[in-house]
């Protein structure tokens, strides 16, 4: 990109960001949207008090500058760090405290596909306004979710700046990966409770999408469902060159994997190409997906990012 054009774009982004002072909600009239359950959702204006029922929604709200409007969050929301100062309304085992949510008197409860439609109806029957946000299946749909949440929270200006930044970062990755001469076969482990048949990400999952965009070949893409178990026999045949431990967050290590009977024949094990990976970057459909893409691209193609 021409340096002058890049400078102009940066100045425009800064200028737009300055239009709305930090911490100030963009004024607007009534908001009328249709949510992921095909329900009409209306607000008199941007929500001032929001309860988030999913980590991805919480991360979106903070990323667009609406963190100060979040008055309640689900138990699993832990990013950014200041989220932990906000009271929890439950949800670690899918059980939420409707009493705690009601006590917060929110203008808006932001739900997602982690939440059962029955919960949405229960909250709606209690007189609460609930917006159900569908999980995106592409980065472009993720940007659209940012725009939707920004409209609900009155943070359109911040969201526009964020989205431009995310798209620029993705374009850099795309440009570099276009120069790759190979597509390493990757096994992404989600759960090895049964080490002879661990869970992985199959076709249609966001992990599958990001691995492909990062210049890799997800061996799980050959399975039959979005989340599936893969047998050791299948792994031996597909023979991954790289193994990423999404379950490292639960304490699984490369040494644990190496000690599993039969795994020693895999190329990734022979060549010591086993790495922990922060699963939150690819399993929470929010702006940190771009962080995940960047990290995956560097791991799969370090020669392009030196």
Q: Is the dihedral of CA 274, 280, 283, 286 positive or negative?
A: negative
Query: What pLDDT tens digit does each residue of the chain (306 aa) get?
Result: 444 443 334 334 433 433 344 456 776 789 999 999 999 999 999 999 999 999 999 999 999 999 999 999 999 999 999 999 999 999 877 789 999 999 999 999 999 998 999 999 999 999 999 999 999 989 999 999 999 999 999 999 999 999 999 999 999 999 999 999 999 999 999 999 999 999 999 998 999 999 999 999 999 999 999 999 999 999 999 999 999 999 999 999 999 999 999 999 999 999 999 999 999 999 999 999 999 999 999 999 999 997
For residue 11, the model assigns a pLDDT of: 39
> Is 79 exposed, middle or buried, given 0-12, 13-18 or 19+ CB atoms closer than 10 A?
middle
What does the pLDDT look like over 263-285, one tens digit per residue? 999 999 999 999 999 999 999 99
What does the pLDDT look like over 33-81, one tens digit per residue? 999 999 999 999 999 999 999 999 999 999 999 999 999 999 999 999 9
Domains of the chain: 3-166 (3.40.50.1980), 185-304 (3.40.50.1980)
């Amino acid at each position: 990109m021409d340096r002058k054009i890049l400078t102009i774009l940066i100045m425009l982004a800064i200028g737009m960001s300055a239009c709305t002072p930090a911490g100030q909600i963009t004024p607007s009239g009534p908001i009328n949207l249709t949510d992921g359950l095909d329900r009409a959702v209306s607000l008199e204006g941007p929500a001032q008090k929001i309860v988030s029922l999913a980590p991805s929604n919480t991360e979106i709200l903070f990323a667009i500058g609406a963190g100060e409007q979040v008055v309640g969050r689900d138990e699993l929301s832990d990013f950014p760090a200041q989220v932990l100062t906000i009271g929890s309304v439950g949800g670690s085992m899918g059980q939420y405290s409707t009493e705690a949510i009601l006590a917060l008197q929110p203008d808006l409860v932001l739900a997602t596909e982690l939440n059962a439609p029955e919960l949405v109806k229960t909250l709606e029957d209690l007189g609460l306004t609930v917006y159900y946000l569908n999980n995106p299946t592409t980065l472009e749909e993720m940007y659209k979710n940012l725009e939707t949440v920004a409209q609900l929270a009155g943070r359109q200006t911040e969201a526009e700046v964020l989205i431009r930044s995310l798209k620029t970062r993705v374009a850099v990755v795309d440009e570099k990966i276009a120069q790759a001469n190979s597509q390493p076969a990757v096994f992404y482990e989600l759960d090895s409770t049964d080490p002879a048949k661990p869970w992985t990400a199959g076709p249609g999952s966001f992990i599958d999408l990001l691995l492909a965009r990062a210049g890799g070949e997800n061996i799980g893409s050959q399975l039959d469902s979005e989340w599936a178990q893969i047998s050791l026999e299948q792994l031996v045949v597909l023979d991954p060159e790289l193994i990423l431990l999404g379950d490292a967050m639960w304490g699984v290590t490369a040494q644990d994997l190496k000690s599993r009977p039969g795994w020693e024949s895999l190329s990734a094990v022979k060549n010591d190409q086993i790495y922990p990976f922060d699963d939150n970057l690819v399993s929470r459909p929010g702006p940190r997906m771009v962080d995940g893409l960047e990290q995956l691209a560097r791991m799969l193609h370090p020669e392009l990012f030196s």
